[in-house]
Structure 1
Amino acid sequence: MIYQGNAITVARGDDDIATLTFDLKGESVNKLSTAVVQELDQAVEALGAEAGLQGLILASAKEAFIVGADITEFHGMFEKGQDEIQAMLERVHGIFNALEDLPFPTVSAINGLALGGGCEVTLTTDFRVMAETARIGLPETKLGILPGWGGCVRLPRLIGADNAIEWIAGGTENKAEACLKVGAVDAVVTAEALEAAARDILARANAGELDHRARRAEKTGPLKLDAIEQMMAFETAKGYVAGKAGPHYPAPVEAIKVVQKGAGEERARAQAIEAKAFGKLALSDVCYNLVGLFLNDQVVKKKGAGYEKQATAIDQAAVLGAGIMGGGIAYQSASKGTPILMKDIKEEAIALGLKESRKLFAKQVERGKLSVEQMAERLANIRPTLSYGDFAHVDLVVEAVVENPKVKGAVLAEVEEQVDDDTVLTSNTSTISITRLAENLKRPENFCGMHFFNPVHRMPLVEVIRGEKTGDAAVAATVAYARKMGKTPIVVNDCPGFLVNRVLFPYFGGFSQLMAQGADFRRVDKVMERFGWPMGPAYLLDVVGMDTAVHAGEVMAEGFPERMGSMGSDSGKSVIQLMVDHDRLGQKTDKGFYAYEEDKKGKPKKVVDEDAIALVKDLAEGEREFSDEEIIARMMVPLCLETVRCLEDGIVGTPAEADMALIYGIGFPPFRGGALRYIDAMGLDAFVAQADELAEELGPLYAPTDRLREMARVGERFYQDAQQA
């Protein structure tokens, strides 16, 4: 044994080939933490001192090769400042360069995921062989940084600037076939043949058949592009990527600049350029929030996995109510391998549900994600029915009928009579109390909410709502089913609007008050879109539907009368109700705040509608100009305060879950990290002062809670330190 550590071992074979194996003890995956990188340094030093070696294989004893750096260390590391970040990068570059410069040929045997730092390790070796099922990539730009351990230097020299820019700026995970095509790997084989293929490459290198020294010279020298080729490769890419990434995500464009600046340089200078840019991005708010988002996501996934361990298997599901929503739920279940019955009382509704499912599967075929045979196979997982004939064998039912408590209550009581005593019943409701819906059930412990967001196939969040009598087994089964469907479930307690809609409606309340005071809704939309929302509040209301918003608003007003009882003009009428009164329901009637026309793809395209502008003006108490900052404060403060209240009321368990629910459920700007991170970034004392000032004019919707005031007074935060989610 040449070296043995907690995560790395290096063994010498009888053929004088050494194998460096990553196998981090106590973890399910390999990560490049500070401690593991330190071990790699020692292992490389030991390899350099070992006489007579003929080659090195980098391998993994786990299912994944290396999933990347240990992201839980990022906040703590980055908070130490530019000098410490720079020193860390120089240390890692030194280790990776020593690995690259070993006096014998080297090869990486990539058996599974090799991402971020894991990918960058493989780029140091002369050759790479890859299992058919493995994937490699550099996803750092998704965290607001760029590859900082040589990825921006080595990858362009290996696969060409164009391909490297696509990989790095897009943060993609790349399949074996694509990797082989661009030259990122030298061979693709079965997992069983991986070691033999790696040994064969080393034998050919030692025999002079493959020139590993020429490979190294290419990776450590300047990029072979003349001035015109450089301009075409980089300038075009910067414009395209800037348009795709948008102004709030600087890392993808910065990564292209790093590749461009380092193109004419030797390894050391190019790495220094990379390190400087990495340090600048690592200290940005965007990076801090995107790393926080990743950590929050891990918290949510861990909680979901904990529920899943307690759950019984869901092998057969059913959805009640076929329509667009029912069809979307059926599609999602069937596409992820869980057979589902789709029941309705009308043939035409069944036909609509099947049409929706078929349309979604057909899109997958068009994009090359599925073959026609796979589509047929998955479509067969959906069984339409007008009766309860096979419901005795169903493990979980999703009720997705109209948003009416009487109808839902009757349907749930009816289906309860048809299913097994252990079957879990769930209601896909956006506002109706789960405790109330359980009143007519004989087994309320088997019932909970399962709130999908529209469109089901796109929106990652599912709220799993625990009513007063909901049992742990029902929650666990529902979480497990949501995860099996490829969704992110977050468990919340019952209250009007649950978590996401309860938080969203104060945001709409802020919008209504702006309209009542004479703001221009088109300007409000533009300001909030520049702030980072995918669409402004007026456009969002058009998508949601005014009638849906009015109904949900009534539920909120009944549940929280002091704050949400009156969010209209002096006349008591909100701008949303005004739209309903004039049959302007949004996209569903082709007119709301905007008018809608079909674009070339048949999708609704918004256009300015003078009638809507005149209507809103008539409602207003006059015209008033608001600054961008005033608009943002009036929209964001009530949303953030309601998130705080949901946390204080125990509706949601942790800041991480609250923030992730808003990002996954309503498109809260990810680079801002969520409502609670947004308050932290502003400073609780500054946020409370801003809210108090607004509350004087606008009322209780803007009033901070006593607990928030106390947190501000003692300097507390929602995220106390770098590690806490």
Structure 2
Amino acid sequence: MIYEGQAITVKLLEEGIAELQFNLQGESVNKFNKQTLLELQQSVVELKANSAVKGLVVTSGKDVFIVGADIGEFLDNFSLPEEELMELNLQANAIFSAFEDLPFPTVIAVNGIALGGGMEMCLAGDYRVMADTARVGLPEVKLGIYPGFGGTVRLPRLVGADNAIEWICAGKEHDAESARKVGVADVVVPLDKLHDTAVNLAKRCVSGELDYLAKRQPKYEKLKLNNIESMMAFETSKAYVASQAGPNYPAPVEAIKAMQKASTKGRDEALKIEAKGFVKMAKTSVAKNLINLFLHDQALKKQAKDYQEKAAKVTKAGVLGAGIMGGGIAYQSAYKGTPIVMKDINQQGLDLGLQEAAKLLVKRVDKGRMSAAGMAEVLNRIVPVLSYGELNNVDLVVEAVVENLSIKHKALAEVEGQLAENAVLTSNTSTISITELAKPLKHPERFCGMHFFNPVHMMPLVEVIRGEKTSEETVATVVAYAKSLGKTPIVVNDCPGFLVNRILFPYFGGFALLLRDGADLVQIDKVMERFGWPMGPAYLLDVVGIDTAAHAEKVMADGFPDRMKRDFKSALDVLFAEKRYGQKNSLGFYRYEPDKRGKPKKKVDADVQALLKEVTQPSREFTEEEIIARMMIPLCLETVRCLEDNIVVSAHEADMGLIYGIGFPPFRGGALRYIQDMGIAEFCALADQYAELGPLYQPTAKLREMAKNGQLFFDN
């Protein structure tokens, strides 16, 4: 044994070929933490000093290669002063450079996932052999940073500036064959041939058949681009990437700037340029918030995994009520491999549900993501029925009928009588109390909420709502089923609107008050989109449906009359009375016309202003800051109340629910993170400026107490 540590071992194999293996003890995956970096440094020293070593193969003792850096550890480093963080980064880079400079050929055998720092380890080797199951990439921009272990330096010198820009700025994972096509992988082989192929490649280098030094040399030099080529590659890319990423996500453009500045330098100077830009990004609030969201997402995945241990298996599901929502749920279940019975009271509903599923599958086929045979296989997993008989052997049913208490009561009671003894029954209600819905059921312990968001195939969140009598096994089973659908489940306690809609409707309440006071709806939408929302409140209401929103608003007002009941006629009331239901009938706050692809495109409608005159004060100017405050304070305060009322058990689950459920701007970290970043005392003071607008704008006593005592929602 040449070296033996807790993360890395190095041993001599045969004919002077050594094997360095990553196998981090006590962890299910390999990652670059302080321990691994230190051991890599020590391993390189031992290898360099060992005259018996003529070539090196790098492998993994786990199913993955290296998943990247230890994000939690790195987030702690990001709070260090810039000079200190820069020094740490350069020290880490010196380890990778020392590995790259070893006096013999190095071959990296990539058996599975190699992302971020794991991918950068691959780039530091001379050759990369990948199993056909490997997946590689540099996803750092998704965390608000860019590659910091030499990725922006080595990748463009290996695969060219254009390919490197695409890989780094998109942050996507790539399969082994895609990596081979651009030159990231030299060879792709089946997994069982990976080790032997890598060893043989190292031997060919040692024998002189392959010139590993010539392969290595471009990574030491400046990029081979003349001035015009450089301008074309970098300036054009900057403009395009900036338009795609938007002003709130600076890392992709900063990565291009780093590559451009470093393109005229040798490796060591280029790495200093990368480090400087990396530190600049690491110190932004965007990086802090996106990294925290990543860590929170990991925590949610762990919670879901813990629930799965108590869950009953769902081998066949059912959905009650077809149409767009039922069809979306059926599609998602069938596509992810769980057969589903889709029941409706008439053929028209079933046809609509099947059309919805087929439409989504056709899109996948058209984009080359699925074969026609694969589409047929998925459709065959959806069984449309008009009677309850087919539901007697399903493990779980999702009720998705119209959002009306009496209709839901009748449907739930009927379907319960048809289910097997241990089957779980759920409701896709978006606002109605689960405890209330359970009243006619004989087994309320086997009932809970399973709230999908529309469109089902795109929205990642599923709220799993625990009713007063819901059993833990029921919750666990529904969480596991949601996970099997590729969704992120968050378990919440029961109340009108649950977590996401309870928080969303105060936001709409802020919008109604702004319109009443003379604000322009188009301006509000533009301001909130610049703030980071995917769409402004007027556009969002049109997408949700004015009729749907009006009904949900009434449920919320009945549930929380102290702050959600309005004492004035609103713009929503007027549009509902005029039957302007939004996108569904092409008239709402905006009017809609189909674009070339048949998708509804919004247009400003002059008729709306005339319609709203009766319920709005004369038009007046509002500053951007005023609009943001009046929209965000109610939403943030309701999030605080949900946490205080134990609707959700942690601050990070509340914030993740908003990001996954309604598109809260991820770079802002969530509503509670937004309050904390502003300062809790400062937020309370801002809310007090608008206290005359009513209870929606008045901080809770506990929040004021937190402000007074310097307490926080999050530790970092």
Q: TM-score range by the shorter chain?
A: over 0.9
Deviation at 1:618, TM superposition (A): 3.3
- 2:704 maps to a residue whose letter is R
Counterpart in the other structure of 1:150? 150
**2-structure distance, mates of 1:257, 1:701:** 45
Deviations 1:77-136 (A, max 9, x none): 100121121011111111001100001000000000000000000111100000001111
- 1:474 maps to a residue whose letter is T
**2-structure distance, mates of 1:110, 1:333:** 33
Q: Is this contact kept in 2: 1:503–1:643, CA < 8 A?
A: yes
**1-structure distance, mates of 2:50, 2:311:** 52
Deviation at 1:615, TM superposition (A): 2.0
Deviations 1:598-628 (A, max 9, x none): 0001000000100112222332122221110
Aligned equivalent of 2:705, options 707, 710, 725: 710
Deviation at 1:15, TM superposition (A): 2.2
Q: How does 1:83-162 map to 2 (within 5 A)?
A: 83-162=83-162
Counterpart in the other structure of 2:447? 447
Aligned residues: 716
Counterpart in the other structure of 2:59? 59
Deviation at 1:75, TM superposition (A): 2.4
**2-structure distance, mates of 1:35, 1:680:** 32
Deviations 1:488-534 (A, max 9, x none): 00000000100000000000000000011000010000000000000
1:365 equivalent to 2:365? Answer yes
What SS does the corresponding residue of 2:6 show, helix, strand or coil?
coil
Q: Is this contact kept in 2: 1:546–1:580, CA < 8 A?
A: yes
Counterpart in the other structure of 2:207? 207
Counterpart in the other structure of 1:688? 684
Deviation at 1:684, TM superposition (A): 0.2
**1-structure distance, mates of 2:123, 2:612:** 59
Counterpart in the other structure of 1:418? 418
1:654 equivalent to 2:650? Answer yes
Deviation at 1:238, TM superposition (A): 0.8
Deviation at 1:157, TM superposition (A): 0.5
**1-structure distance, mates of 2:218, 2:296:** 40
Deviations 1:353-389 (A, max 9, x none): 1111111111111111111111111111111111122
Deviation at 1:288, TM superposition (A): 0.8
**2-structure distance, mates of 1:22, 1:28:** 12
Aligned equivalent of 2:604, options 593, 600, 608: 608
1:470 equivalent to 2:470? Answer yes
- 2:342 maps to a residue whose letter is M
**2-structure distance, mates of 1:174, 1:14:** 33
What SS does the corresponding residue of 1:390 show, helix, strand or coil?
helix
Deviations 1:657-689 (A, max 9, x none): 100100000000000000010001000000011
Counterpart in the other structure of 1:512? 512
**2-structure distance, mates of 1:169, 1:664:** 23
Q: Is this contact kept in 2: 1:388–1:418, CA < 8 A?
A: yes
Counterpart in the other structure of 1:586? 582
Aligned equivalent of 1:632, options 612, 628, 641: 628
Deviations 1:469-501 (A, max 9, x none): 000011000000000000000000000100000
For structure 1, the 5+ residue unaligned runs are none
Deviation at 1:409, TM superposition (A): 1.0
Deviations 1:412-441 (A, max 9, x none): 111111111110000000001100110000
Q: Is this contact kept in 2: 1:68–1:116, CA < 8 A?
A: yes
Q: Is this contact kept in 2: 1:74–1:291, CA < 8 A?
A: no
Q: How does 1:27-42 map to 2 (within 5 A)?
A: 27-42=27-42
**2-structure distance, mates of 1:270, 1:17:** 31
Deviation at 1:153, TM superposition (A): 0.2
Q: How does 1:373-384 map to 2 (within 5 A)?
A: 373-384=373-384
Alignment RMSD: 0.9
1:668 equivalent to 2:664? Answer yes
Counterpart in the other structure of 2:558? 558
Deviation at 1:74, TM superposition (A): 2.5
What SS does the corresponding residue of 1:439 show, helix, strand or coil?
coil
Q: How does 1:403-552 map to 2 (within 5 A)?
A: 403-552=403-552
Counterpart in the other structure of 2:170? 170
Counterpart in the other structure of 1:192? 192
**2-structure distance, mates of 1:689, 1:595:** 39
Q: Is this contact kept in 2: 1:300–1:656, CA < 8 A?
A: no
Q: Is this contact kept in 2: 1:448–1:474, CA < 8 A?
A: yes
TM-score, normalised to structure 2, is 0.99
Q: Is this contact kept in 1: 2:77–2:85, CA < 8 A?
A: yes
What SS does the corresponding residue of 1:451 show, helix, strand or coil?
strand
Q: Is this contact kept in 1: 2:17–2:203, CA < 8 A?
A: no
Counterpart in the other structure of 2:246? 246
Q: Is this contact kept in 1: 2:317–2:339, CA < 8 A?
A: yes
Deviation at 1:713, TM superposition (A): 0.5
Counterpart in the other structure of 1:619? 615
For structure 2, the 5+ residue unaligned runs are none
Deviation at 1:147, TM superposition (A): 0.3
Q: Is this contact kept in 2: 1:81–1:283, CA < 8 A?
A: no
Deviation at 1:227, TM superposition (A): 1.0
- 1:616 maps to a residue whose letter is L
1:237 equivalent to 2:233? Answer no
- 2:592 maps to a residue whose letter is Y
Q: Is this contact kept in 2: 1:519–1:625, CA < 8 A?
A: yes
Aligned identity (percent) is: 60
**2-structure distance, mates of 1:681, 1:271:** 32
Q: Is this contact kept in 2: 1:593–1:613, CA < 8 A?
A: no
**2-structure distance, mates of 1:287, 1:616:** 42
Deviations 1:241-273 (A, max 9, x none): 111101100000110111111111100110000
Deviation at 1:287, TM superposition (A): 0.6
Deviation at 1:13, TM superposition (A): 1.4
Counterpart in the other structure of 1:701? 696
Q: Is this contact kept in 2: 1:299–1:656, CA < 8 A?
A: no
